[in-house]
Amino acid sequence: MSALFDKIPMQGVKHIIVVASGKGGVGKSTVSANLAVALARNGYRTALVDADIFGPSIPRMFGVENGKPQVELVKGEKMIIPLEKYGVKLLSVGFFAGTHQGLIWRGPMAAKTLIQLFEETHWGIIDYMIVDFPPGTSDIQLTTAQKLNISGALIVTTPQEIALNDARKAASLFNNKGIIVPIAGVVENMSWFSPEQHPDERYYIFGKDGGKILAQELHVPLLAQIPLVIDAGQSAEHGQSVFNLKHNGIIKAFEDLTKQITTKLPA
């Protein structure tokens, strides 16, 4: 294998889990952020990497948009020290670009920059590193899958057929020749809407069981069905996780997802 695709050692990081989707708007970053927080709440040493070079959202979702990682000497080398919030070590290209600054880069340049962030950051000991992929199947996803030893991929979709079609494309990347990344399972987001006053009622706004269908097609488990909660989006806008909410349904969904991940990939 050429040096181009040599794996990055990532010493001290036990499991790398990528969170992928074929299209935007399905809540992939919401899943990534709250899964990372849930893992940290359960005592696991957790990191979250925002791999969406062109549209980073993790800084805002954690309320650290103005955060600036420091550079320190570690064993004689200059290394980036990730920010930390809710017990999660955070890194995003958004920390190095202006809040409203768009990056006009070609795909290979963006992929190279992301790989540098992995290589030049001092992570310490990490049980689970969550990587929030951008939507689609571009150079960023391809290069990351080739350069990192990934323990598993989560495919995020909403129940409707148009989202499933794009999710199938995202899953196909990990089954591509020359890329060995096991798909850990499917996460269905916005599965149903339950009013806060009537938590036992379910309204299937975007259809029903799409995630189950996709999981069966891919021969992987459906790891979670996460309800649509309006307050979850509003909390993310203010840098808060779902664990700040009173909606037990969405909290339980992420707790169950965490249990599934840690059982499948023990720390």
Instruction: Determine, yes or no, domain membership for 93.
Output: yes
Q: What is the pLDDT of residues 219-259, one digit of tens each?
A: 999 999 999 988 888 888 888 999 988 778 899 999 999 99
Higher per-residue pLDDT: 126 or 98: 126
- As a whole-number percent, the residues of the chain with pLDDT over 90 amount to 58
Instruction: Determine, yes or no, domain membership for 24.
Output: yes
Q: What is the mean pLDDT of residues 210-219?
A: 96
Cα–Cα dist 176/57, whole Å: 28
Tell me what pLDDT residue 215 has.
Answer: 97
What is the domain-level CATH number for residue 239?
Answer: 3.40.50.300
Report residue 207's pLDDT band, with 50, 70 and 90 as the boundaries.
Answer: very high
Q: What is the pLDDT of residues 59-108, one digit of tens each?
A: 999 999 988 999 999 989 999 999 999 999 999 988 876 555 544 444 46
Cα–Cα dist 27/23, whole Å: 10
Cα–Cα dist 141/233, whole Å: 25
Tell me what pLDDT residue 39 has.
Answer: 98
Tell me what pLDDT residue 182 has.
Answer: 94
Tell me what pLDDT residue 104 has.
Answer: 44
Instruction: Determine, yes or no, domain membership for 2.
Output: no
Cα–Cα dist 144/162, whole Å: 26
Domain count, the chain: 1
Half-sphere exposure in the Cβ direction for 145 (13 Å, CA) = 28
Instruction: Determine, yes or no, domain membership for 89.
Output: yes
Give the structural domain span for 150.
12-264
Instruction: Determine, yes or no, domain membership for 7.
Output: no
Q: What is the pLDDT of residues 183-196, one digit of tens each?
A: 999 999 999 998 87
Instruction: Determine, yes or no, domain membership for 209.
Output: yes
Q: What is the pLDDT of residues 35-49, one digit of tens each?
A: 999 999 999 999 999
Give the Å distances, CA to CA, from 74 to 8, 83, 103, 116, 194: 18, 16, 29, 16, 49
pLDDT exceeds cutoff 80 at 55: no
Instruction: Determine, yes or no, domain membership for 153.
Output: yes
Give the number of other Cβ atoms within 10 Å of residue 256's Cβ: 15
Cα–Cα dist 27/190, whole Å: 8
Higher per-residue pLDDT: 115 or 157: 157
Instruction: Determine, yes or no, domain membership for 4.
Output: no
Does the predicted model carry a pTM greater than 0.75? yes
